[in-house]
Amino acid sequence: KKGGIDGLTNLTFNNNQQDSSLMSQFMSYALFNQAGSPAPRCAYAKVTVNGNNLGIYSHVETIRQPLLKRAFGNDGGTLYEGTVVDFSEGWAGSFEKKMGEDNPGREKIKQLIQALQGEEGEILLSSKASGRGWVSTNSQYDEDWVRPNFDDSNWKRGWNGAGYEKRGGYQSLISDEFDFSAEMYNQTNSLYLRFSFEIENLEQMVSSGELILGMKYDDGFVAYLNGHRVAALNAPEKLDWDSKATASHEASGFDLINISKHKDKLQLGTNVLAVQGLNVGLDSSDMLIVAKIQLSDYDYEQGIGELVDLDAFYRFWALEGLLGFWDGYSANRNNYFFYLNPETDKFHFLPWGADSLFEKFSRLGVDPRAPVSVKTKGLIAQRLYQIKSCRERYARAMKEILDKHWQEEALLAETERLETLLEPYLISSQEREMRGQRGLISQILEEWNDGKNKQPTSLNSIREFIRNRRSEIMNEITNGMPVR
pLDDT digit string, tens, across residues 255-276: 889 999 999 999 999 999 999 9
What confidence tier does 200 reach under pLDDT thresholds 50, 70, 90?
very high
Length of the chain, in residues: 484
First CA to last CA across the chain, in angstroms?
53
User: Per-residue pLDDT averaged across 416-439, rounded?
Assistant: 84
Q: Quick one: pLDDT at residue 107?
A: 98
What confidence tier does 8 reach under pLDDT thresholds 50, 70, 90?
low
Q: Quick one: pLDDT at residue 444?
A: 44
How far is it, in rounded angstroms, from Cα 335 to Cα 83? 6
Q: Could you give phi then psi for residue 204, rounded to 5 degrees?
A: -65, -40
pLDDT digit string, tens, across residues 461-477: 899 999 999 999 999 99
- Predicted TM-score (pTM) above 0.85: no
Q: What is the DSSP letter of 386?
A: T
User: Per-residue pLDDT averaged across 99-109, rounded?
Assistant: 97
How far is it, in rounded angstroms, from Cα 418 to Cα 257? 44
- 325 near 245, Cβ under 8 Å? no
| 31-40, 69-78, 248-257, 270-279: the lowest-pLDDT one | 248-257
- Burial class (CB within 10 angstroms; exposed 0-12, middle 13-18, buried 19+) of 458: buried
Q: Could you give phi then psi for residue 101, rounded to 5 degrees?
A: -80, 125
Q: Which residue segments constitute the domains of the chain, with CATH numbers given? A: 122-297 (2.60.120.260)
| 113-127, 164-178, 230-244, 445-459: the lowest-pLDDT one | 445-459
- Give the residue, 11 or 59, on which the prediction is more confident: 59
User: Per-residue pLDDT averaged across 330-336, rounded?
Assistant: 97
